Amino acid sequence: MLLLNTIAEFFQNYTIQIVFTGSLILGITAGCLGTFAVLRQQSLLGDAIAHATLPGVCLAFLITQTKNPFVLLLGAGISGWIASLFLKLIVENTKLKKDAALGIILSVFFGLGLLLITIVQKLPTATKAGLDKFIFGNAATLLKQDVMMMSAFSIFIFLVLIVFWKEFKILVFDRDYAASQGMPVHFFDVFLTTLIVIAIVIGLQTVGVVLMSAMLVAPAAAARQWTDRLGVMLFLSALFGAISGTFGAITSSMVSNLPTGPTIVIFLSIFVLVSLVFAPNRGLLWDWIRSYRNRKTILTTTMLQNLLLFSEIQTDPFHPHDISALKAIGRGAIDKTMKELSRKGWAQQFEDKRWALTPKGLDKARKLTKEYEETISGFSSA
Amino acid sequence: MMMTQTTKITNPAIDVTDLTVAYHEKPVLWDVDFQAPQDTLLAIVGPNGAGKSTLIKTILGLLKPAAGRIQVFGKNYRPQSRLIGYVPQKGTVDWDFPTNVLDVVLMGRYGHLGWFRRPKVEDRKMAVDCLEKVGMADFMNRQISQLSGGQQQRVFIARALIQDAPIYLMDEPFAGVDAATERSIITLLRELKDKGKTIICVHHDLQTLKEYFEWVMLLNVRAVALGKVTDILTQENLRKTYGGKAAFLTGLKEEEEKGHASA
């Protein structure tokens, strides 16, 4: 009860409410769009666009001399969008590869942004412009009007995703095929990228330009590990984004001078790590277990067949044999394998250390050999 | 260079005139004329880099030609008219995409459905029917990442079948499939042809060309020859298409001579 009260009190705090809501919206929106970015193999596109928003923020401030977040974020959006168009132009019209184009766009725009931010900070009128929060993010400075704006944008994004679900799906999976059916793929390319720009702009104040792409890529990459359905992946990605976003933002706003972006990234990396290792089927742990089991099956099968060969030397198939010759071939794994065989009741060891098949083992060995021969003949007849 | 054309074609399904396509000033197709008669199986044959896929993609409207005219059933072609079903090379997509076989086949209905609309029960039924035709109905709920190369190809063909188009363009439908799958695919293509469809395939195997296809277009940036396989598949034409690399075609030469002897 006490804990619940503490939590309830905690959420009555106005700043916490704002930070919580803002980062929740951001996490969900970025998680959803990140799914498409990751599946399009455009994970770095978000990074380039995010970095490219910085000059827009600075120019908007220099031109209007206001700190109005709407104006600054509009500048950010325009400059991010221009960067994404440049990127498309470079990739489609020059021989430069995508990664080179991304590198160029990211560094040129970000460099320009850093230059402008230095100019801004030297202006006497702008001593407290606070534009540097756009670099690493500061959730604690979010205002109610910021959160309202973020909600409006993210509702727009959700509506678009619902309406154009199948269009985006086919665009990501097989763009040429979509075009062959008359779908305006260039329009949808730009449209999807525009949505990604919007999601990035939503996150700029909270996460900052440097780490914003993590909000897009990390939840989606983690979500991909757990499912093979696009819809489920989108949901999980939004969930992971929401949890990391809120935890990170609240932690950073409770500790002074802790930038929000890096804190969120710490939480995100926990999701990514756990997903990479423990997810069923795609996880590393699963891989290790599978290859261990495969190896064991191969070893026991081979050994059983070797024993079958031995048993055919004598009229009594259960006559014990010395297997030291096999040890030379199978190295250390032989002892373990033999133990496994006797555990399964397929082979038994006599007091003189010699081994023989059991009746059950003989059946199994014959069955395996037959199956193997059928597979081989199946291949050759196909 | 004049193209060799042995048979006059009236009312072609596809009519390409003076088509030139270039990537960064390098011509990939140069002044190509190409006509596909209706209700045939036609192969486009040529060496690597001859522009075979480019020709298909340009007809489909995926690439903009530098010059030339493309007509389908006598009208300038727009993809929105959905007269052509497309089977791309199976290597062009990421098969690790999170979706299943039925979903991929349903993508063939998106053009018919129009914007906003989701596939309905009838669409699903059609998708299952098409999967049955390619012998993949048992795999409808299978993750696409778990398919073999031959199965991937059959899923792509099912996705084109559901489009129910009068013309099919297929980019190497036999590449990387086993002998059994190749048999079942060619049987299916013949059935389509018998229903009056026009099927155009990029094909690589000269050995099976005569058996599988009635018509052939030999292409190497320029159109070399177009006509019935029996008329076009000569040593002379192959040398024009493949250049000096035609030495490996000796098997065909013997066959050709046999043909002449019996004639």
Judge: A182–B163 Cβ closer than 8 Å, yes or no: no
Mean pLDDT by runs of 10 across the 382 residues of chain A is: 74 86 94 94 90 94 86 93 92 88 94 92 70 86 90 94 94 94 92 93 90 94 95 96 93 85 93 94 90 86 82 78 69 76 83 82 83 68 44
* Nearest residue of chain A to residue B182 (CA atoms): A382
- The per-residue pLDDT for range A71-106, each reduced to its tens digit, is 999 999 999 999 999 998 998 888 888 899 999 999
Cα-Cα end-to-end distance for chain A: 69
Q: What was the pLDDT predicted at A112? A: 96
Q: What was the pLDDT predicted at A381? A: 47
Question: Cβ neighbours of residue A377 under 8 Å, at least 6 residues apart?
Answer: none
User: Which ranges of B110-215 does DSSP label H, i.e. alpha helix?
Assistant: 110-113, 121-133, 149-161, 179-194, 206-212
What residues of chain A have any CB closer than 8 angstroms to a CB in chain B?
39, 41, 95, 163-167, 169-170, 172-174, 176-183, 224, 227-230, 232-233, 382
Judge: A233–B98 Cβ closer than 8 Å, yes or no: yes
Judge: A229–B98 Cβ closer than 8 Å, yes or no: yes
Per the CB < 8 A criterion, the answer to whether B224 and B3 are in contact is yes
Confidence of residue B261 (pLDDT cuts 50, 70, 90): very low
ipTM for the complex shown: 0.89
Q: Please report the beta strands in chain A, taking only residues with DSSP state E, as ranges in sequence order.
A: 347-349, 355-357
Size of chain B in residues: 263
Partners of residue B93 in chain A, C-beta under 8 Å: 173-174
CB pairs under 8 A between A and B: 86
Judge: B94–A224 Cβ closer than 8 Å, yes or no: no
Judge: A177–B81 Cβ closer than 8 Å, yes or no: no
Token reading at B251: 């098997």
**Gap from B237 CA to chain A (nearest CA, Å):** 32
Question: Cβ neighbours of residue B101 under 8 Å, at least 6 residues apart?
Answer: B131, B136, B139, B140, B141, B142, B144, B147, B155
Token reading at A295: 């190896």
User: What are phi and psi for residue A224, nearest 5 degrees?
Assistant: -55, -30
**Gap from B67 CA to chain A (nearest CA, Å):** 18
Asked if the model's pLDDT at residue B246 lies above 70, the reply is: no
Judge: A180–B62 Cβ closer than 8 Å, yes or no: yes
- The per-residue pLDDT for range A12-60, each reduced to its tens digit, is 888 888 999 999 999 999 999 999 999 998 888 999 999 999 999 999 9
Judge: A183–B118 Cβ closer than 8 Å, yes or no: no
Confidence of residue B1 (pLDDT cuts 50, 70, 90): very low
**Residue at token pair 């023989």:** A356
Strand-pair partners of B71: B15, B76
Per the CB < 8 A criterion, the answer to whether B224 and B30 are in contact is no
Token reading at A72: 């600054």
Per the CB < 8 A criterion, the answer to whether A299 and A337 are in contact is yes
Query: Over the range A172-200, which residues count as b (16 or more CB within 10 Å of their CB) and which as e?
Result: bbbbbbbbbbbbebeebeebbbbbbbbbb
Question: Which residue among B82, B100, B108 places its CB closest to the CB of A182?
Answer: B82
Return the closest-CA partner of residue A181 out of B13, B78, B147. Answer: B78
Q: Three-state DSSP class for B42?
A: strand
Averaged pLDDT of chain A: 87
Q: What was the pLDDT predicted at A217? A: 95
Token reading at B174: 């036999």
Token reading at A375: 């597979």
Domains of chain A plus CATH, in order, are 2-280 (1.10.3470.10), 286-373 (1.10.10.10)
Q: What was the pLDDT predicted at B245? A: 58
